[in-house]
Structure 1
Amino acid sequence: MNSLEPTADVDTADEQLSMAVVDLVARTSDTDPVELEPLYDAIDPDLLDSLPAEAGFTSLEFAYHGYAVTVTVTGESVEVTLEDAGGSADESTDTRIDSSP
């Protein structure tokens, strides 16, 4: 099911967090992004994009397309991690996909 490892570091100055989540889910599940259910069915994309700039924001978890999506501030970037909603933490991987230039 996983064609790529389900983690990405996102530079939110260059990329919208919502688009990075959709792209990572699409690549990980080997699905065309337009075939995914709308992200707004899981979370408000505008809210998601604004969170890294909010004082005190550290992390968020939500379900999308069969994955538990975890968004965590990691210094200058934001880490997005996917875990199969049916799997355990022991089955997740920690290889990063660098989506910054």
Structure 2
Amino acid sequence: MNSFESTSVPTETSLSMTVINLVADADDTDPVELAPLYDTIDPDLLDSLVDSPGFSSLEFTYHGYTVAVGEVNGEIEVEIADANAPIDDAAEPDLVDTESST
């Protein structure tokens, strides 16, 4: 996914609130102005993912954004992208080749 906003989930903040705040920031709006998250996904279920053994990833659409939640290096990461933008699943981060063969 070509994300334009991402964050790690702080331990003192629930995953559902992290999603709401990230989408509100991306939309430049107050979180209370967004449609309720529970219209899209059960916030309690979303929050329980942090403690679920074997959890790897989840993707859903909320308030016009594709939200991807995943475990990365032992931390829960949340990324959002415009839901109408094409998703490039094969996209890799830009890496600099420090070893070149001549």
Residue 76 of structure 1: CA displacement? 3.2
Q: Quick check: 1:38 aligned with 2:1?
A: no
Of 56, 59, 62, which aligns to 1:58?
56
Q: TM-score, normalised by structure 2?
A: 0.78
Q: Which amino acid aligns with 1:41?
A: D
Partners of 2:48 and 2:39 lie apart in 1 by 17
Of 73, 86, 89, which aligns to 1:88?
86
* Equivalent residue runs for 1:61-80 within 5 Å: 61-80=59-78
Partners of 1:9 and 1:60 lie apart in 2 by 15
Q: Structure 2 regions of 5+ residues with no counterpart?
A: 94-102
Residue 83 of structure 1: CA displacement? 1.0
Q: Quick check: 1:10 aligned with 2:9?
A: yes
Superposition CA RMSD, Å: 1.4
Q: Which amino acid aligns with 1:76?
A: G
Q: Once superposed, which parts of structure 1, at least 4 consecutive aligned residues long, lie more than 3 Å away? A: none
Matching residue of 1:22: 20
Give 1 or 2 for the bigger CA radius of gyration: 2
Aligned length: 86
Q: Structure 1 regions of 5+ residues with no counterpart?
A: 95-101
**Aligned-pair identity (%):** 52
For residues 42-85 of structure 1, the C-alpha deviation after alignment (integer angstroms, 9 at most, x for no partner) is: 10000000012111100000110000100001133211010101
Matching residue of 1:98: none
